[in-house]
Structure 1
């Protein structure tokens, strides 16, 4: 913002976050149905594709001009710290493929729930394609100078015509993309938090007071956290190593094990009941054989 408008009172981080929360997030998180965010979600996907197209286009142009150097194909490990730093990418990769929390809200709003499997496959395939294309062309374009955040590489001259314009388009489009993705994540977060706090209440969509209070409280907490977290990558690494691992792996496994145990308990209880009935019938047939017309073998 300072590059475009100079140093202003409103270009501080806290002020920009407040304006974004009021002008962008507040209207989008006020929807009570996930279906209402379908257009903003489609736009966010389109903006991610724009980022990939520009990165690929610049890389191909520079490749044809012969101005791209051969990048290093293996990481440079100079000490133990650099080795352990490789594992900091794992939480970010895990975060990139976490979509479990949106499955049930989307499925509940589908007219045909059987479409959910194809929706999940299409979404994961699209995300995988975007991630692979971004990583490939980004590393091809910047090579050994690729930063942890590839967006930071678009602050410098790309070495092609209209470089400054392309840099601005990439940064603005990706910024809007992130802002439009947030309401979808917030929808599931609010729904699950409400389920934890009010497990026996009516759905939050039918209670305006509870909907407003949970939304404001949760958004206020996120706003304060965004002001104190120094970098988005710190947040990704922390949540990727804790919350996303739980949502993606631990909780589904726990639910599956729980359902198996419940099923086994039902089977065991059925066997106990069956054996008890058999025992009662056996005693009755021995004490009073003519009192029962059903043979024991029918059980």
Structure 2
């Protein structure tokens, strides 16, 4: 048997493909071909991570600061949770390298087993579905604000069908979102994500500049929470705002080269941008309006051209973020579907394209229908924040605990480092369980007490 090697743009991380030629019942020749693997660089992946993290939570952050008891309290809570948020991202990336997992639920399956994979896929499907609804709600709100600014008299007097909230959500989503939802790889969205990030940075600049310009006196500004439990009002918003964990593994799997050193650069830059963006918007936004702040920060401003540009850019950014969450939710749903039907790997691969298209269309239409009837994003964010805690704390904590215990079992040694990892993972799980239960209970109480209400916006007829 002879071997020949061809070098086609080879690098250290290139895949090797074996081509075999069968002759007279046996493999006579094997040719090893080095093929260049294409993927996203660490810096282009930053835009995917930031676009996945920055979104609906940005608009709700200033009000969350008020609910938590003021700027200082909220920033301290945010800083504490950021330690766990970043640690969870690196834990998931480390565990994904064990068997080259490409989705969140596959990482959980690799470390914790099949039942844990099913549970994570169920939570992930629910979370992504709800988040997609939230994005469509925001799109409808932004277009309504735009029409009230540019054609208020005509809009309020005639209420044309093509300007109402339902029509703008449906028409623009079909035109601008659905075409981005069908690709197989998530890095297809890296260029659209760049546009989305630019839009978010404009909103941050707007809120900051508006604070330093002359404006009406703010309402009362809190410096401490009314009760110690109020501190946790900001937790759902933090979890929802920084939750990029469900999309982080697909993003990491598309990186070239794929390794933790390069990925740590992506995470560091992305988290710096997210912290600066969220903290600046929340602090300056809250200090501008005090307790007069609305659920959507842009609704608090007088309608002027600069604000309307921000409104449009938020809509554009949301168009580019929805497909990322659909991608992750679709992968989780397909995992459950193929597992429930007991399909073989061969059938799963052969039906992948058809299944992906059908799932995408059904998902898109279902979220579109629900978004038309839900009035605002406040209660949705509270509920989704509870589910985000599961992805940020519970499952990463489980992965760290099981992986560490497996190392102990293999080596028979309890080192100081492994004891720390076990203790840290237990903190992850305990904290995540507490946050999930508390925030879910709070959101249900708000719902039953009439917590869903329309914002008192200056964009009204």
Distance 2:218 2:390 in 1: 41
Correspondence for 2:275 = 128
- 1:174 equivalent among 314, 321, 333: 314
Distance 2:398 2:373 in 1: 33
Correspondence for 2:23 = none
Correspondence for 1:278 = none
Query: 1:25 touches 1:183 (CA, 8 Å); kept in 2?
Result: yes
1:184-221, Cα deviation, whole Å (9 max, x unpaired): 12211212222232255467797211111221222233
Distance 2:373 2:233 in 1: 21
1:219-242, Cα deviation, whole Å (9 max, x unpaired): 23322332343322211111111x
- 1:62 equivalent among 214, 220, 230: 214
Query: 2:245 touches 2:392 (CA, 8 Å); kept in 1?
Result: yes
CA pair 126-264 structure 1, distance change in 2 beyond 3 A: same
User: Structure 2-normalised TM-score?
Assistant: 0.50
CA positional deviation for 1:102: 1.6
User: Structure 1-normalised TM-score?
Assistant: 0.75
Instruction: List aligned pairs for 1:138-177, cutoff 5 A.
Output: 138-154=285-301, 156=302, 164-177=304-317
Distance 2:402 2:362 in 1: 32
Distance 2:174 2:167 in 1: 11
CA positional deviation for 1:267: 5.8
Instruction: List aligned pairs for 1:17-56, cutoff 5 A.
Output: 17-56=169-208
Correspondence for 1:90 = 235
* 1:12 maps onto 2:148 in alignment: no
* 1:210 maps onto 2:355 in alignment: yes
CA pair 204-254 structure 1, distance change in 2 beyond 3 A: farther
Distance 2:169 2:349 in 1: 27
CA positional deviation for 1:85: 6.0
Instruction: List aligned pairs for 1:161-240, cutoff 5 A.
Output: 164-199=304-339, 201=345, 207-240=352-385
Distance 1:69 1:173 in 2: 26
CA pair 230-85 structure 1, distance change in 2 beyond 3 A: farther
Instruction: List aligned pairs for 1:206-285, cutoff 5 A.
Output: 207-241=352-386, 243-263=387-407
CA positional deviation for 1:112: 0.8
Distance 1:70 1:223 in 2: 36
Distance 1:150 1:41 in 2: 22
SS at match of 2:356: helix
> Could you tell which deviates more after superposition, 118-127 or 15-24?
15-24
State the aligned residue count: 253
**RMSD after superposition:** 2.7
1:88-115, Cα deviation, whole Å (9 max, x unpaired): 3321111111111122111211111121
Higher strand share: 2
1:125-153, Cα deviation, whole Å (9 max, x unpaired): 11111001101221232234222321210
1:257-287, Cα deviation, whole Å (9 max, x unpaired): 333454455568xxxxxxxxxxxxxxxxxxx
Distance 2:319 2:350 in 1: 23
Question: Which structure would you say has the larger Rg?
Answer: 1
Correspondence for 1:72 = 221
